[in-house]
Amino acid sequence: MQLQSPFLAITRSLDGAVLDALVRAHGPMSIAEIARSTENSYAGVRSCVLRLSAQGTVRASPAGKLTLYSFNGEHILAPAIREVVGAKGRLWERVTTLITETFADPPIYAAVFGSAATGTMRDDSDIDIFLERPKRADHDRFDVDADSLAWQVSRLTGNDVRPLVYGEEEVSGTMADQRVLADIARDGVTVAGDAAGFRSRLRRGSRAKTGHAAR
């Protein structure tokens, strides 16, 4: 599943991209605006919009020389379409719940990172989940719980899920300068814990390493 384009899990046609754009739009859009938003051709979008208008999921309204199009929120299928459009947000909520239900000692901080967070997934992309293991946690049990979480998220999406586990003491110490942690701090989608606290531990670890090197 490409989380940034959830309709692709159902159909490869342009219809999904057009519906996604119109549901997210703040107002009616012209065909040219939809084409730019979806990065597709004017002709392709026009054909798609006319087809969806005939099915009633898209409404056409005149605006001077233009015809503008909007999503028909009163259509019988409107709730189902909105469900698809909002799939990514609901997945993050579900991951948060799964973390609470799965871990004997929940991670101090957890975030989705990589292409799933930045909206650049391909069909074969993994979902990467960072998990900060608390000092008190049993390492082996935490790893088992991390694998269980990965399996459950994979069942929800069809993607391979790869957990990346760092200990709390590594985040605030020996591994603080790892580039992947900087990427997570910058782009990660928080699914458990406090992002500001995570960034603070990273800064503390970086300062400690810098001070140690200076000595």
Residue 1 lies in a domain: no
Residue 59 lies in a domain: yes
Judgement on whether residues 67 and 97 belong to the same structural domain of the protein: no
For the entire predicted model, the pTM comes to 0.88
Judgement on whether residues 203 and 99 belong to the same structural domain of the protein: yes
What's the domain count of the chain?
2
Judgement on whether residues 73 and 97 belong to the same structural domain of the protein: no
Q: Which residues of the chain have pLDDT under 70?
A: 208-215
pLDDT score for 69: 98
Q: Which domain holds residue 179?
A: 87-214
| 179 burial type by CB count under 10 A (0-12 exposed, 13-18 middle, 19+ buried) | exposed
Judgement on whether residues 71 and 92 belong to the same structural domain of the protein: no
Domain boundary among 40, 57, 83: 83
Judgement on whether residues 45 and 96 belong to the same structural domain of the protein: no
Judgement on whether residues 99 and 178 belong to the same structural domain of the protein: yes
pLDDT tens figures, 40-90: 999 999 999 999 999 999 999 999 889 999 999 999 999 999 999 999 999
Residue 175 lies in a domain: yes
In this structure, what CATH number is given to the domain that contains residue 131? 3.30.460.10
Tokens for 193? 């814990």
Judgement on whether residues 161 and 173 belong to the same structural domain of the protein: yes
Judgement on whether residues 93 and 41 belong to the same structural domain of the protein: no
